[in-house]
Structure 1
Amino acid sequence: MPLRVDDVMRLLCHLSEERSIRAAVKHSARGAMVAGATAFVGGLMGGPPGLAVVKAYRGILKAWHGVGVDGGVPQIIMELPPIQQQKLYNEVVAVMRDLDWTDSTHLIALVMGNSVLQQQIVATLVSYVTRELSAQVQYGD
């Protein structure tokens, strides 16, 4: 089953690259300020070990809050924790219904040959990114 999740993630990356879909996670400036402030305090209080503790803490927060990246949706998709990838996979597979594929290349070819299906999958992806990651989605360059 994990291979099928990877196939769908590659499809979503392909579609979002082709349509130049970008996402901006809300409050990312506030997160950057907090990250900078905690790094400063950690370095000031604990020196190099303090910076290591702050880095580990930020990693835990990032995993807990999900992906906090501004940029291309493909990057965001690939950095999703496995649980979130599985949830996204379930939503996309519900749209694809009875579509049967052998690998990611075959899946991409099947979807790219059906513009209605492409639109439905992109709408599902945008809905997921907006709802689950609290991101604002932008199209084009």
Structure 2
Amino acid sequence: MPIHVDQMMQLLCRVSREKGMTAAVKHSGQGALLAGATAFVGGLVGGPPGIAVGALGGLLGAWMTSEQFKPVSQIIMELPPAEKQKLYKEAFAIVKNLDWIDVLELTLFVMQNADLKFLLAKTVERFFIRELSAQIKYGE
């Protein structure tokens, strides 16, 4: 039985909420750019003392690269379509051979089966680590 990408994302969101999954995606590129830009501008405007003032930009850049955990379900829904498609393929490989008639039945079956929930949660975790360089925490 086929399942649409959006329906699979809803199922994965439900599993991740039940598992209490949160993820931190580092924004290191943005932080480094900000730190370098503020030091450069500070140096142009104020010379050597301006570079020291620009170091404050380095602190802001460091803050930007710190881990900010968000619910995995929120991140899943914000993924671009191409990323959702990749995640869909990985998750569908787990449920494709199950006997289900519609998405509602599949959802009920998954939510009542600890092993399936575990497999789908691990699929999401591996995807987030590999594709988003994220760190995952479980709250359960």
Please report the TM-score for the alignment, with normalisation by the length of structure 1: 0.66
Write the letter of the residue equivalent to 2:96. Answer: R
Tell me how far apart the structure 1 counterparts of residues 19 and 122 of structure 2 sit (CA, whole Å): 12
1:82 deviation in Å? 0.6
List runs of 5+ in structure 2 lacking aligned partners.
42-67
The structure showing larger relative contact order (alpha-carbon pairs under 8 Å, at least 6 residues apart) is 1
CA RMSD of aligned residues (A): 2.9
Q: Secondary structure at the match of 1:91?
A: helix
Show the counterpart of 1:114: 113
Show the counterpart of 2:123: 124
1:13–1:98 CA distance, 2 compared to 1 (3 A):
same
> Is 1:98–2:79 an aligned residue pair?
no
Q: Which runs of 4+ in 1 moved over 6 A?
A: 35-38
Deviations 1:19-56 (A, max 9, x none): 11000012x26525747969xx9xxxxxxxxxxxxxxx
Show the counterpart of 2:15: 15
Tell me how far apart the structure 2 counterparts of residues 96 and 116 of structure 1 sit (CA, whole Å): 12
Tell me how far apart the structure 2 counterparts of residues 70 and 93 of structure 1 sit (CA, whole Å): 26
Tell me how far apart the structure 2 counterparts of residues 93 and 30 of structure 1 sit (CA, whole Å): 33
List runs of 5+ in structure 1 lacking aligned partners.
42-68
Deviations 1:58-86 (A, max 9, x none): xxxxxxxxxxx741111110011111101
1:101–1:136 CA distance, 2 compared to 1 (3 A):
farther
Tell me how far apart the structure 2 counterparts of residues 35 and 122 of structure 1 sit (CA, whole Å): 35
Write the letter of the residue equivalent to 1:107. Answer: L
Q: Secondary structure at the match of 2:17?
A: helix
Show the counterpart of 1:63: none
Tell me how far apart the structure 1 counterparts of residues 87 and 109 of structure 2 sit (CA, whole Å): 19
Matched length: 110
Percent identity, aligned pairs only?
42
Q: Which has the larger radius of gyration?
A: 2
Tell me how far apart the structure 2 counterparts of residues 118 and 3 of structure 1 sit (CA, whole Å): 17
* Counterpart mapping for 1:1-141 below 5 A: 4-26=4-26, 28=27, 31=30, 34=33, 70-99=69-98, 100-103=100-103, 105-140=104-139
Write the letter of the residue equivalent to 1:120. Answer: L
Q: Secondary structure at the match of 1:78?
A: helix
Tell me how far apart the structure 2 counterparts of residues 81 and 35 of structure 1 sit (CA, whole Å): 25
